Structure 1
Amino acid sequence: MIKLRLLSTALLFNNRNELLMMKRAANRTLSPGKWGAIGGHMEPYEIASPKHTCLREIEEETGIQAANIEELQLRYVLIRLYHTEIRQQFFYTGFTNAEPTIETEEGDLFWVPKQEVLSSNRDLPHVFRSLLTHYFDHEDSAHPWIGVAGKTAETDEPCIRWNPLIDPGII
């Protein structure tokens, strides 16, 4: 039986040139030891507000409060199949000058310069690397993007197909 899981994630930038990233603890079930963003699963009462989830997860994982975050906006919606779950993940970008104030069992937090985020020696999950690559190529985009993860027909390699999320009535 396939289930639906909703997630919300933050790409927080400091001084607009560093990304707050988490090096996940080696004992984590999902992506152990890999680099990721701040975020997590939506609670049932948050279904109508992934932004609320994003802000809650930021505070839980970093101690940074909503009042210290500027321009938090939806930039991506990603849909993918993960084992027996359809995962729909909302990605927000925002800016803060606040420093993380708590430690978490999830992993360790680091401000990573933008030019080093996609370094080949940084172990990123494929989905996250693909999203960041697309974001850095389109960070001035005026609209959000929707992505569907799958595999290429030609090579059977993982890929994400990105499309602008635009009301078809305004095309």
Structure 2
Amino acid sequence: MLEVEVRQMATAFLIHQDRVLMMKKAKSKIFHFEFWGGIGGHMEPNELNYPMEASYREIEEETGIKKDDIKNFKLNYILLENNSGEIRQQYVYFGETRHMNVRPSDEGELYWISKNELSSLYTSKMIGLTLEHYLTHTNNTPNILLGAMMTNNESKPEIQWSIINETFGF
């Protein structure tokens, strides 16, 4: 029997006017080259049922931005991906900041990137497709979208999106 490890992560994209806070990393466990991502990381064992709290913790640790400086913080996406036999579940939040003041991070370099420049950054395929989806949809709905990485008939990676509806009591 093949045992599959599950890795849970929380990621945030903070917006100030028309700019998104992105982190440029020299390399990671996945990539051995420079790439871009949001603010976040692996959830601690005590955060597994509280991904929003994990996200707030990561934001403060990596940027210095405090919870009180963020408004309209919302879970927009839950992403699933099978990567080398490991299931990765990522909770992706978007929110607005009152200011652009960040402190240097040990995790990577922080930059405020114009929304229309995001598609030119080298990101993971999953994050790139998620940002593209977010920017091309008004996303003012209360829905949370579940995204699963798939390969289409041309062997091109894509995300299959599904709305996670609230359950209705019967």
TM-score by length of 2: 0.90
Alignment gaps of 5+ in structure 1:
none
Quote the Cα distance in structure 2 between the aligned partners of 1:131 and 1:160.
Answer: 8
Superposed displacement of residue 11, structure 1: 1.0
Aligned 8 A contact 1:25 1:105 in 2: no
Quote the Cα distance in structure 2 between the aligned partners of 1:62 and 1:111.
Answer: 12
2:147 matches 1:147: yes
2:23 matches 1:19: no
- Aligned pairs, how many? 165
Quote the Cα distance in structure 1 between the aligned partners of 2:168 and 2:135.
Answer: 28
Superposed displacement of residue 98, structure 1: 2.8
Cα distance per residue 1:26-72 (max 9 Å; x no partner)? 4x323341111101001000011000000000011101110111111
Superposed displacement of residue 139, structure 1: 3.1
Quote the Cα distance in structure 1 between the aligned partners of 2:10 and 2:78.
Answer: 9
Matched with 2:48 is 47
Partner AA of 1:52 in structure 2: E
Matched with 2:38 is 37
Give the root-mean-square deviation of aligned CA atoms. Answer: 1.7
TM-score by length of 1: 0.90
Superposed displacement of residue 96, structure 1: 0.3
Matched with 1:69 is 70
Matched with 2:6 is 4
> What are the equivalent positions in structure 2 for 1:19-168 lying under 5 Å apart?
19-26=20-27, 28-31=28-31, 32-119=33-120, 122-142=121-141, 143-152=143-152, 154-167=153-166
Partner AA of 1:11 in structure 2: F
Deviation larger for 17-26 or 133-142: 133-142
Aligned 8 A contact 1:25 1:106 in 2: no
Equivalent position SS for 2:29: coil
Alignment gaps of 5+ in structure 2:
none
